[in-house]
Amino acid sequence: TSATIAACAAGAAWLWTTSDIDTAGTIRFVNRLAVPPLDTGRRDGSGRRVFDLRAAVGSRRLRPGRPTPTWGFDNGHLGPTLRAARGETVVVNVRNELTETTTVHWHGMHLPASMDGGPHQPIRVGATWSPSWRIDQPAATLWYHPHPHGRTGQHVYRGMAGMFIVDDPSGGPPGLPGRYGVDDVPVIVQDKNFDGDNRFDEASRLIGGVGVLGDTVLVNGTIAPYHDVTAERTRLRLLNASNARTYRFGLSDGRPFALVGTDGGLLPAPHTTDRIQLSPGERAEIVVTMRPSERLVLRSHPPELGADFWTSRLTGGDDTLDVLELRAAPRLTPSPALPGVLAEPPRIGSADGRVDRRFELANFMINDRVMDMSRIDFGVARGVTEVWEIVSTDLLPHNFHAHGTRFQVLSVGGAAPPPELRGWKDTIYAPRQVPIRVAVRFGDQADPNTPYMFHCHLLYHEDQGMMGQFVVTEPGRSPGRPALHDGHG
């Protein structure tokens, strides 16, 4: 087309237009990758790390023409990267300046159910919610996003999402790149559609019961982004914060990278691979090695969704999407070799054939039930390890996420898990008719009346009710009843 590249009025950055797609359909990367501001909070009198988040509407100049109305934390789009270390007690004051009730859920965090930010902790307009908990889990890349029942998809799509990095107080294994925004970079990937007025279009391409699939990929809210690489090795913290799309990331020249972490923390050892697939909600930390002056594109290839032909067609599975260009400087800071050992492998369960609970995902339900705020589906005894089996049985792709814990994958389709599933997980893709077994344990205090959620993290499915509730009880005790809020706080 003859469209021209327009200068961004606000920041003099160059904006992406159709002219930036060459004849081979490849995007030219013209916008410097935005890096969410790092927020390490402040210390209060009792040594707690205190964060303040403000949920509010905003706007962003994402494309030529009108600014895009957005929602977000603090900045009006996405949110700061919160960062704290294991052993610390954190407080997050979340003020809702939106026009409707929301919640903020700490995805992947182990914390008491009343702090979890699910649908049972609504924050009404004008109110401030101040959950507090002690961080007690391995270093990991977590994230936060709203979870109001039936509206999670809308709130996330409008821009409510941020990263939460948990550090190890010892600093973790030496040798991993760790300079935030320089060689340790958040990569929050979301696909969007825009309407004729540059608004996020939540309604179009709601395809085949899968949810909204976008034709434009944003990283940290940037379209067609590049990142200036200044070190030999760069760690990318990949977060699939999309509503429905599954990505299968690789590098444009096919070179391998090191997968060093997944949802719940570092892998036992770096795993060299050339692909990592992430369904919505999943994270991966990868380390990419580059030579001076080269350019490399982080690209998403058609995902492996399962044996079903029309499933992949329906989910945009045929799409190859360019996500982020990495531009190496003529001189790169030397990076140390990666450590051979990263973390203790998860060891809470063994594949001895026992299954304590089974979750069948089909027809927007789990085990033939639609989510009900007033129904507790089961109780789990505190401190007891259970084996859960998850299986998708309909024709749509699904994944499975459980709140308040992390799990160890015991088997996938009866076989030992592949290397990328050998670290801690909290969200896992469930290919059609492939049973997945995980070992899970809840160490936090029992609260028989406040539920945690388990659900499909394709947000349209979750909002349709493909979700359930469980509570953690003292051993031998029965679940109670959830106290229902009116949804306005």
Residue ranges binding Cu ion (CB under 5 A): 398, 456, 458, 461
List C-alpha distances in Å: 149 to 121, 145, 230, 465.
Answer: 10, 13, 43, 9
Of the candidate residues 58, 281, 465, 482, the single one contacting ligand C2O (CB under 6 A): 281
145 binds ligand C2O (CB under 6 A): yes
Helix (H, G, I), strand (E, B) or coil at 47: coil
In angstroms, what is the minimal distance from the CB of 402 to ligand C2O?
8
403 binds ligand C2O (CB under 6 A): yes
- Residue 145's binding partner among Cu ion, ligand C2O, none (Cβ under 5 to 8 angstroms by kind) is ligand C2O
Q: Which is nearer to ligand C2O, 80 or 451 (CB)?
A: 451
393-405 CB burial, b ≥16 within 10 A, e <16 = ebebbbbbbbbbb
Which residue in the block uniquely carries the two structure tokens 């990949």?
A: 238
- Residue 458's binding partner among ligand C2O, Cu ion, none (Cβ under 5 to 8 angstroms by kind) is Cu ion
In angstroms, what is the minimal distance from the CB of 462 to ligand C2O?
7
Q: Which is nearer to ligand C2O, 326 or 456 (CB)?
A: 456
Strand 105-107 to 140-145 pairing:
antiparallel
List C-alpha distances in Å: 197 to 27, 68, 166.
Answer: 22, 8, 39
Contacts of 20 (CB under 8 A, 6+ apart): 5, 27, 28, 30, 224
Q: Which is nearer to ligand C2O, 90 or 160 (CB)?
A: 160
Nearest to 426 by CA among 109, 83, 104: 109
- Residue 147's binding partner among Cu ion, ligand C2O, none (Cβ under 5 to 8 angstroms by kind) is ligand C2O
- Residue 245's binding partner among Cu ion, ligand C2O, none (Cβ under 5 to 8 angstroms by kind) is none
Question: Is the Cα torsion angle 263, 265, 269, 274 positive or negative in sign?
Answer: positive
147 binds ligand C2O (CB under 6 A): yes
In angstroms, what is the minimal distance from the CB of 360 to Cu ion?
12
- Residue 455's binding partner among Cu ion, ligand C2O, none (Cβ under 5 to 8 angstroms by kind) is ligand C2O
C-alpha span between 240 and 247 (Å, rounded): 8
Q: What is the 3-state secondary structure (H, E, C) of 396-445?
A: CCEEEEECCCCEEEEEECCECCCHHHCCCECEEEECECCCEEEEEECCCC
| DSSP H stretches of helix in 42-87 | none
The phi and psi torsions of 105 (rounded to 5 degrees) equal -100, 140
Q: Which is nearer to Cu ion, 49 or 461 (CB)?
A: 461
Of the candidate residues 63, 158, 235, 401, the single one contacting ligand C2O (CB under 6 A): 401
From the CB of residue 7, how many other CB atoms can be counted at a distance below 10 Å? 12
Tell me if 451 sits within 8 A of 374, measured CB to CB.
no
Tell me the sheet residues that pair with 107: 143
* Residue of closest CB approach to ligand C2O: 107
107 binds ligand C2O (CB under 6 A): yes
283 binds ligand C2O (CB under 6 A): no
Q: Which is nearer to ligand C2O, 281 or 431 (CB)?
A: 281
In angstroms, what is the minimal distance from the CB of 310 to Cu ion?
16
Tell me if 421 sits within 8 A of 399, measured CB to CB.
no
In angstroms, what is the minimal distance from the CB of 107 to ligand C2O?
4
Measured over all CA atoms, what is the biggest interatomic distance in the chain, rounded to whole angstroms? Answer: 70
In angstroms, what is the minimal distance from the CB of 135 to ligand C2O?
18
Tell me if 57 sits within 8 A of 76, measured CB to CB.
yes
In angstroms, what is the minimal distance from the CB of 455 to ligand C2O?
6
Q: Which is nearer to Cu ion, 137 or 311 (CB)?
A: 311
- Residue 398's binding partner among Cu ion, ligand C2O, none (Cβ under 5 to 8 angstroms by kind) is Cu ion
- Residue 299's binding partner among ligand C2O, Cu ion, none (Cβ under 5 to 8 angstroms by kind) is none
In angstroms, what is the minimal distance from the CB of 457 to Cu ion?
8
Helix (H, G, I), strand (E, B) or coil at 18: helix
Binding characters for ligand C2O, 49-88, by CB under 6 A (x = yes): ----------------------------------------
Q: Which is nearer to Cu ion, 71 or 400 (CB)?
A: 400
List C-alpha distances in Å: 15 to 2, 62, 81, 158, 219.
Answer: 15, 7, 25, 20, 14
Binding characters for ligand C2O, 432-461, by CB under 6 A (x = yes): ---------------------x-x-x----
Q: Which is nearer to Cu ion, 80 or 280 (CB)?
A: 280
Please give the residue ranges that form the binding site for ligand C2O (CB under 6 A): 105, 107, 145, 147, 281, 401, 403, 453, 455, 457
